[in-house]
């Protein structure tokens, strides 16, 4: 689309297909999409595409051989022809994008038959988009890429749905197959999307459908009251259950392939079953029952904690909350209820351990929620490629045996980082997070660095590839270095969460403390002397986290309160680690900015300028972080920097 960055689908990546002869076999709307893609490429590059039984020879055959819902495909090359087969239409679409990713390689040498398919059936983005601009949170809660892609001027984007379709295309090209189109904090206007404004949701669903992306909706638990005029939302009340059943039937009349509901209940002020003395399984199962006849799923979020804590109360530990609330309910959730768990026990900090809940509910379908929008990781003003963090999470053996990627039977979800910004994600390099998420959801054990390379080559070509790798590869660790140290988190400005404020959340009701004093810092979450959180883990993690001797350095202050003089496994004291990493972090940003500047002739001008401008802000902010954090700890501890560098 004009004026919109093609992201990882610039015309050029279709050249290898567009210059050749392609045969497409099979019928159906997604096969038409495949045909449209190939025909468009041929128009641009002079090749030819035929449907069904045309005489050959062909360089590429894309063939639908069945009529099921499978998303897998086979790929092979022999006798001068590359062949993709699929038994389901979306499989054929994913097969096409596989050929696009391979480029000329798809047509070079013989390749024996390979089978490809997603490890996880649900690969979803949750948009925290409001229809109406919220007075505090704006249109997209925690959004850093302009307004909503779906909603504009208080309505679905009518004639601009072409942009939504283009979004669906990008998502399909990295394997994402579901989108929740509104914020989990469901405000008054957005509640109506479920009923009288359903037509707008159907329009969006229509724009995404050609690319195999199903639409989901966030709904308020109080809908029977606020929309239905009932006096209660009690999940065991017959009228309430009847109301949800009817509302859901109407949703499926309008959107036959509707995915289901996303629900944030009893969380940060949203209504939920606790008000009626009911459990979260009661709440989720009521919605699951309403969706079940239509094949839908409810995604019930596990982000339930006390956000009105008294900071003086040392007996409450927010990190424990999800496990405490949900583990007793294991086995009680309906088959089509998915418990959606944030990957860490707190809230998307730059470093957290994996949530112990993920390994502790074997009889429940879990989805794991990541955050692509960079709420706590630089808000798309800083380069912070999250692939390595997500990969660590997905490979973590949550129950001591199976990896998170295997345990997440309900799917992988990310909070979207996309808006109506011409570059989609505000910071053009933040597209790498979106792409990496999709590819990891398809194959959770994939090497994130290979995914990064793939994204770079598709988006930028080979010219600037080495520079881009240098800029992005270590950027998460760089960000970690100049922000909150050793897993303690939360040293951000309250409310908007950008920029440093070491004590910003120290005396707040949010359960987010670091407990720094003149002698040390960190939260004692051991079972022996602390909150007991470490004991929520399966073996061997419980033992490992319990003792500072075995706890990994990067999580030490998450699990333990340590003196500034404590020697880390790295051979540095805690205080010297803080000073060193903060100086290093800023130096690494300076180096990355210089690498980016050197790519000026290799990257298109608008994109280069946008990133260059953001680097100036990142550097300013990183210096602020360095100086505030280092000064704070020098003043608290009185321990000088071993290298005598400038601290204020
Ligand atoms: C949508 C954090 C964010 C909130 C978000 C919440 C959630 O607390 O700051 O903006 O609300 O997580 O995940 O529900």
Same domain (yes/no): 161, 245: yes
In a shared domain, residues 166 and 287 = yes
Regarding the beta carbon of 185 and ligand 1, being less than 6 Å apart is answered yes
Position 161 scores a pLDDT of 85
CATH number for 244: 3.20.20.80
Q: Are 482 and 585 in contact (CB under 8 A)?
A: yes
The segments of the chain whose pLDDT lies below 70 read 1-2, 159
* 225, 231, 235, 236 alpha-carbon torsion, rounded to 10°: -160
Say yes or no: 277 and 370 in one domain. yes
Distance CA 360, CA 640 (A): 44
Q: Two tokens at 131?
A: 């229809």
In a domain, 332, yes or no: yes
pLDDT of residue 56: 83
Predicted local confidence at residue 66, as pLDDT: 97
The pLDDT score that the predictor gives to residue 148 is 97
Centroid of ligand 1 to alpha carbon of 163 (angstroms): 26
Query: Is 435 in the same domain as 582?
Result: no
Residue range 545-578, pLDDT digits in tens: 999 999 999 999 999 999 999 999 999 999 999 9
Same domain for 319 and 229, yes or no, is: yes
Ligand 1 contacts CB of residue 351 (under 6 A): no
472 falls within a domain: no
- Kindly state whether residue 460 falls inside one of the protein's structural domains: no
347 annotated active-site: yes
Residues 86 and 170 in one domain: no
Q: Are residues 161 and 79 in the same domain?
A: no
141 lines ligand 1 (CB under 6 A): yes
In a domain, 551, yes or no: no
604 in the same domain as 491: yes
Please write the tens of the pLDDT for every residue from 498-521.
Answer: 999 999 999 999 999 999 999 999
**Under 8 Å between Cβ of 488 and 346:** no
Distance from C-alpha of 215 to C-alpha of 198, rounded to nearest angstrom: 12
**Domain-embedded: residue 139:** no
Beta bridge partners of 114: 75
173 & 37 share domain: no
Q: Measuring from atom 8 of ligand 1, which residue has the nearest CA?
A: 347
643 inside domain: no
Catalytic annotation, pick one of 59, 347, 421, 473: 347
Ligand 1 midpoint to CA 497 (Å)? 11
Find how far residue 425's CA is from the centre of its chain: 13
Residues 175 and 99 in one domain: no
Strand partners, 412: 123, 368
Q: What pLDDT, on a 0 to 100 scale, did the predictor assign at position 454?
A: 98
164-169 LR contacts (CB < 8 Å, sep 24+): 164/204, 164/207, 164/208, 165/207, 165/208, 165/210, 165/211, 166/1, 166/4, 167/208, 167/418, 167/424, 168/207, 168/208, 168/209, 168/210, 168/211, 168/213, 169/9, 169/211
On average, the pLDDT of the chain sits at 97
Same domain, 307 and 344: yes
Q: What was the pLDDT predicted at 372?
A: 99
Same-domain check for residues 505 and 434: no
Return the pLDDT at 158: 73
CATH code of the domain in which 94 resides: 3.30.379.10
Contacts of 215 (CB under 8 A, 6+ apart): 178, 179, 180, 181, 201, 204, 205, 208, 255, 257, 258, 259
Domain assignment present for 137: no
**pTM for the complete prediction?**
0.98
User: Comparing C-alpha atoms, which of 71, 96, 68, 70 is closest to residue 82?
Assistant: 96
Query: For position 53, what pLDDT does the model report?
Result: 78
Which residue among 200, 375, 473, 588 is the active-site one?
Answer: 375
Domain with residue 614: its CATH number is 3.90.1330.10
Ligand 1 centre to CA of 248 (Å) is: 26
Domain span holding position 275: 123-129+153-188+213-454
- Number of domains the chain is built from: 3
β-pairing verdict for 81-88 and 73-78: antiparallel
Residue 201 lies in a domain: no
């Amino acid at each position: 689309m004009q004026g919109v960055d093609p992201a990882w689908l610039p015309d050029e990546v279709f050249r290898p297909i567009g210059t050749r002869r392609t045969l497409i076999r099979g019928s159906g709307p997604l096969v038409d999409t495949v045909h449209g893609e190939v025909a468009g490429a041929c128009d641009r590059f002079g090749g030819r595409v035929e449907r069904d039984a045309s005489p050959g020879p062909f360089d590429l055959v894309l063939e639908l051989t069945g009529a099921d819902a499978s998303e897998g495909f086979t790929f092979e090359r022999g006798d001068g022809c590359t062949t993709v087969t699929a038994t389901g239409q979306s499989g054929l679409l994913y097969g096409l994008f596989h050929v696009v990713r391979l480029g000329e390689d798809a047509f070079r040498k013989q390749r024996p038959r390979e089978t490809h398919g997603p490890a996880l059936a649900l690969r979803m983005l949750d948009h925290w988009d409001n229809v109406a601009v919220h007075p505090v949170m704006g249109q997209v809660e925690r959004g850093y890429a302009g307004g909503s892609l779906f909603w504009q001027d208080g309505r679905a984007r009518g004639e601009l749905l072409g942009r939504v379709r283009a979004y669906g295309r990008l998502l399909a090209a990295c394997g994402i197959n579901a989108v929740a189109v509104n914020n989990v904090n469901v405000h008054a206007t957005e509640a109506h999307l479920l009923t009288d404004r359903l037509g707008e949701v159907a329009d969006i669903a229509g724009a995404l459908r050609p690319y195999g992306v199903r639409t989901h909706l966030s709904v308020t638990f109080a809908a029977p009251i606020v929309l239905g005029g009932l006096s209660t939302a009690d999940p065991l009340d017959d009228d309430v259950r009847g109301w949800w059943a009817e509302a859901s039937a109407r949703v499926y009349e309008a959107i036959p392939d509707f995915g289901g509901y996303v629900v944030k209940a009893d969380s940060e002020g949203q209504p939920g079953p606790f008000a009626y003395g009911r459990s979260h399984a009661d709440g989720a199962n009521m919605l699951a029952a309403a969706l079940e006849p239509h094949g839908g799923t409810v995604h019930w979020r596990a982000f339930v904690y006390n956000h009105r804590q008294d900071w003086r109360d040392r007996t409450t530990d927010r990190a424990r909350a999800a496990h405490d609330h949900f583990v007793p309910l294991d086995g009680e959730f309906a088959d089509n209820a998915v418990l959606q768990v944030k990957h860490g026990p707190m809230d998307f900090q730059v470093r957290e351990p994996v949530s112990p809940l993920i390994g502790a509910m074997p009889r429940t379908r879990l989805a794991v929620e990541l955050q692509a929008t960079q709420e706590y990781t630089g808000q798309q003003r800083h380069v912070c490629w999250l692939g390595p963090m997500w990969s660590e999470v997905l490979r973590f053996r949550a129950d001591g045996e199976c990896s998170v990627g295997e345990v997440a039977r309900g799917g992988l979800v990310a909070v979207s980082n996309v808006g109506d910004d011409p570059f989609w994600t505000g910071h053009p390099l933040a597209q790498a997070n979106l792409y990496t998420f999709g590819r990891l959801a398809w194959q959770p054990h994939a090497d994130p660095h290979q995914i990064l390379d793939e994204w770079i080559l598709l988006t930028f070509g080979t010219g600037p590839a080495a520079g881009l790798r240098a800029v992005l590869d270590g950027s998460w660790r760089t960000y970690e270095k100049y922000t909150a140290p050793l897993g303690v988190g939360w040293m951000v400005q309250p409310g908007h969460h950008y920029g440093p404020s070491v004590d910003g959340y120290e005396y707040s009701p949010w359960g987010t403390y670091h407990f720094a004093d003149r002698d040390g810092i960190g939260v004692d979450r051991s079972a022996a002397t602390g909150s007991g959180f470490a004991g929520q883990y399966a073996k061997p993690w419980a033992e490992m986290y319990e003792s500072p001797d075995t706890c990994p350095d990067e999580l030490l202050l998450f699990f333990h309160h340590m003196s500034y003089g404590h020697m880390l496994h790295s051979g540095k004291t805690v205080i010297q680690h803080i000073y060193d990493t903060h100086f290093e972090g800023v130096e690494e940003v300076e180096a990355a900015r210089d690498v980016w500047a050197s790519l000026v002739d290799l990257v298109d001008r608008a994109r280069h300028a946008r990133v260059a401008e953001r680097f100036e802000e990142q550097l300013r902010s990183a210096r602020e972080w360095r100086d505030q954090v280092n000064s704070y700890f020098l003043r608290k501890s009185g321990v000088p920097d071993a290298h005598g560098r400038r601290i204020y």
